[in-house]
Structure 1
């Protein structure tokens, strides 16, 4: 691929300590170059070498960080194991078992920015957006749900002001061969408070994380906390890569989705 002719668009948010858009924000301890010299000198001293941090060039070693974070912080890809121990009667895949082929290809962006916070996306809504795009889904395409919620990143409202996918809508996409569905919202389902309100009102357990739990029946991955979908120059045939970090036996892995479009 001729990357010089491509514009790379970052579709992710990062790991940020203390950000109000995360209920479990990462903790990041930063070590500067002076602290790095002391640490490296200590490593050498443990091996029997008499080296002091001040002896490094300019008294500086290597900077690094120590991060404590759940793999669901920042932009991440949820594996089928996140939804339940089995999918359609078979052991659910963990994130290190996800085929790379699922995570790259052409993306379709469906615009749901006009929906109110707490609304549930239905199969009919999906078909309407596809008809507007004059597009028929093909197996292996990725579908990204654009809610506009990424504009609230860094604010507490990011956790509550977005529509979410329903179980039927999720199954509708997966049954057409879609293996990866992304959203620029905090969560794939409706906001927590809306799901809780609906459950208490109806007593219907299917109101609790319905889109996630659809993954116990149909096999797919979801990307949460995407960003910048509005920067894409078109809505279909957008080449993307969305490879997750491999974490053994884990329910999710951090991912930095990147779109590659004509410069």
Structure 2
């Protein structure tokens, strides 16, 4: 490629689908999508055009449209600080999703591979430091840190919401104190699965164990992505992450099509099926 030719960008989709009948949330909290196809929708279009007959339309087809019932935390989404607590930065009102700094949402990505940890394990600051040393990366302010847990491989399975390790308070603070403001996980939650935390709480009565990674946002405001996909396809570094959220006034989260972006100067060995290119 000569200097006058635009670089080719390669995209790796790190989002999951919004879809019916796939286990991505606890019972009763999943999305509900009602599909209307081109043959079913004539009754929707005909009131706009009095006298119109179905056979007047090409192939008798109107439009396709979907009605979707969603929680702001369905599918791949970005949590705002407001989700974690009413205040952040030790007393400031927490940012809602429409107030999040968009500069946080397009930055270099770093992947920490924690797939070897057992389900329910709470990642420590030492674990994070050890993994950063292993991949040879020194954290920079605003790096987007993605955590690859064992949950990614369990998406859609009955045990998905109980799978994967979680990021503890001290691990989260380790990142935030070094200028990270946006993180992500392929698990249902940034924290350890509730089923595991509930056992520890029952044994100890220590409520500080509940949602401890999220609650780090009380001290330093931050966002995180949950229910990412395809993280196993990413290298440890060398890519950008784009994860701009849908702008919902006053909301605790917004859906996002999270994407890892590589340029032609750094393209690791990623299966072609995981890539889309834009010249």
TM-score, length of structure 1 as denominator length: 0.93
Alignment of 1:240-259 (within 5 A): 240-259=241-260
Match of 2:194 in 1: 192
State the 1:236 CA deviation: 1.7
Question: Separation in 2 of the partners of 1:8 and 1:221?
Answer: 22
Match of 1:96 in 2: 98
Alignment of 1:127-206 (within 5 A): 127-206=129-208
Aligned residues: 257
Question: Separation in 2 of the partners of 1:54 and 1:32?
Answer: 16
The answer on 1:16 being equivalent to 2:26 is no
Alignment of 1:104-123 (within 5 A): 104-123=106-125
Match of 1:28 in 2: 33
SS for the counterpart of 1:34 is coil
State the 1:54 CA deviation: 4.0
Q: Which has the higher helix share?
A: 1
Question: Separation in 1 of the partners of 2:225 and 2:93?
Answer: 21
State the 1:36 CA deviation: 2.2
Contact map agreement 1:143 1:182 (CA 8 A) in 2: yes
State the 1:213 CA deviation: 1.2
Alpha carbons of 1:78 and 1:3: their partners in 2 closer, same or farther (altered >3 Å)? farther
Contact map agreement 1:27 1:69 (CA 8 A) in 2: yes
Alpha carbons of 1:32 and 1:4: their partners in 2 closer, same or farther (altered >3 Å)? farther
Q: CA RMSD in A?
A: 1.5
Contact map agreement 1:180 1:221 (CA 8 A) in 2: yes
Alignment of 1:17-96 (within 5 A): 17-23=20-26, 24-42=29-47, 44=48, 49-87=50-88, 88-96=90-98
State the 1:124 CA deviation: 0.6
SS for the counterpart of 2:225 is strand
Contact map agreement 1:199 1:207 (CA 8 A) in 2: yes
- Structure 2 residue runs of 5 or longer lacking an equivalent are 268-279
Match of 1:238 in 2: 239
- Structure 1 residue runs of 5 or longer lacking an equivalent are none
Question: Separation in 1 of the partners of 2:216 and 2:202?
Answer: 21
State the 1:21 CA deviation: 2.8
For residues 150-172 of structure 1, what are the alpha-carbon distances to aligned partners after superposition, in whole Å with 9 as ceiling and x for unaligned?
11111011111210000111111
State the 1:3 CA deviation: 7.6
